[in-house]
Amino acid sequence: MRPKISVVLVVRNERDRLPQALETVGWADEVLVADTGSTDGTREFARSAGARVEELPWEGYVATRNRALALAAHDWVFFVDADERVTDALRHEILERIAAGGEALAGLRMPRLSRFLGRPVRHGAWYPDLQFRAGRRSRGFRAAGGRVHEGFFADGPVVRLRCPLLHEPYRDLSDFLRKAALYARLAAEDRAEKGGRSGPASILVRPPFEFFRSFVLKAGFLDGTAGAQVAFVHAWYYLLRAAYLREIARSSASGAGKPEAIS
């Protein structure tokens, strides 16, 4: 008999994307939706779809994920975002690995296949985008990291799966621009706290290099137009991060304090 598994989704105002995500995780022994303040009917829909819903305050990516983790009913926990989809092949692989892994297995890492404005991205900076998302709480499975791009960790062996988790990260171009600005700002604040600085190379050299790395070195050109777009937005993120870091440094030097956060 395989161990039971909880699927956990941390959400806020995801009424439009949550239905597709929930459709792909109904096989789990528990589906827990941790809502951080939705006002668009997300909680109501999740309950009607049979998920257990808990309301949590937003305390940042790491703290909120760990709070949600503590609420799960089972030892094995699989974090899925509202913009992600679990294929049948990935489900089978997860359940097989959990059943065969025994007490030694601490977690599962999987590739993530993203789509950008409707096109799959199989090369470049976005793939294989390995994600450690399923782990055992009894083996220390936990979230850790900075304000953004947090990761999961566990105390023990983690197995890499073959099948990808599907990812639809942006609703449209406007959604991308909003998220890119938010993530770049948060990453800049993390770097500023660690003493990071943004020099001319961060503005003039790093973004073009990141475009080249994604499109040429990591073979993004094989994705055609989608590969070029991803390389551009990847470079754009580094440019934004450098610009925000310079802004934070100027504000600190002038005594103005940290610039207003983006919401």
- The residue ranges of every structural domain in the chain are 5-167, 173-254
- Out of 28-37, 140-149, 214-223, which region has the weakest mean confidence (pLDDT)? 140-149
Share of the chain above pLDDT 90, in %: 81
Check: CB of residue 86 under 8 Å from CB of residue 185.
Answer: no
Residue 218 confidence class, pLDDT cut points 50, 70, 90: very high
Q: Which whole number is the average pLDDT over 222-228?
A: 94
Enter the CATH code of domain 5-167: 3.90.550.10
- Out of 7-11, 24-28, 232-236, which region has the weakest mean confidence (pLDDT)? 232-236
Q: Which whole number is the average pLDDT over 42-62?
A: 97
Q: Which whole number is the average pLDDT over 56-70?
A: 96
DSSP string, 46-71: HHHTT-EEEE-----HHHHHHHHHHH
pLDDT at residue number 262: 41
Q: Which two tokens stand for residue 103?
A: 């007490």
Q: Which two tokens stand for residue 195?
A: 């003493």
pLDDT at residue number 257: 53
Helix, strand and coil in the chain, % to nearest 5: 45, 20, 35
> Can you name the residues that pair with 116 across neighbouring β-strands?
119
Tell me the torsion sign for CA atoms 126, 144, 136, 8: negative
pLDDT at residue number 2: 87
Residue 75 confidence class, pLDDT cut points 50, 70, 90: very high
For the entire predicted model, the pTM comes to: 0.89
Give the pLDDT confidence of 91-100 residue by residue, as tens digits.
999 999 999 9
Give the pLDDT confidence of 126-163 residue by residue, as tens digits.
999 999 999 999 999 999 998 888 899 999 999 999 99
Residue 194 confidence class, pLDDT cut points 50, 70, 90: confident
Q: Which of 214, 219, 216 is nearest to 233 (CA)?
A: 214
Q: How far apart are CA 102 and CA 84, in angstroms?
A: 27
Indicate the average pLDDT of the chain: 93
Kindly list the strands in the beta sheet with 76-79, ordered across the sheet, starting from the edge strand earlier in the chain. Answer: 52-55, 30-35, 5-11, 76-79, 131-136, 107-110, 158-160
Check: CB of residue 125 under 8 Å from CB of residue 116.
Answer: no
Local structure of residue 1 (DSSP, 8 states): -
Q: Which two tokens stand for residue 263?
A: 């919401």
Q: Which two tokens stand for residue 52?
A: 């257990």
Backbone angles phi, psi at 70, to 5 degrees: -65, -20
SS3 99: helix
Would residue 255 be called left, alpha or beta, if left means φ above 0 and alpha means ψ between -120 and 50 degrees?
Answer: left
pLDDT of 37 strictly over 80: yes
Name which residue leads in pLDDT, 63 or 198: 63
Q: Which two tokens stand for residue 33?
A: 């939706």
pLDDT at residue number 256: 57
SS3 116: strand
CB atoms within 10 A of CB 181: 15
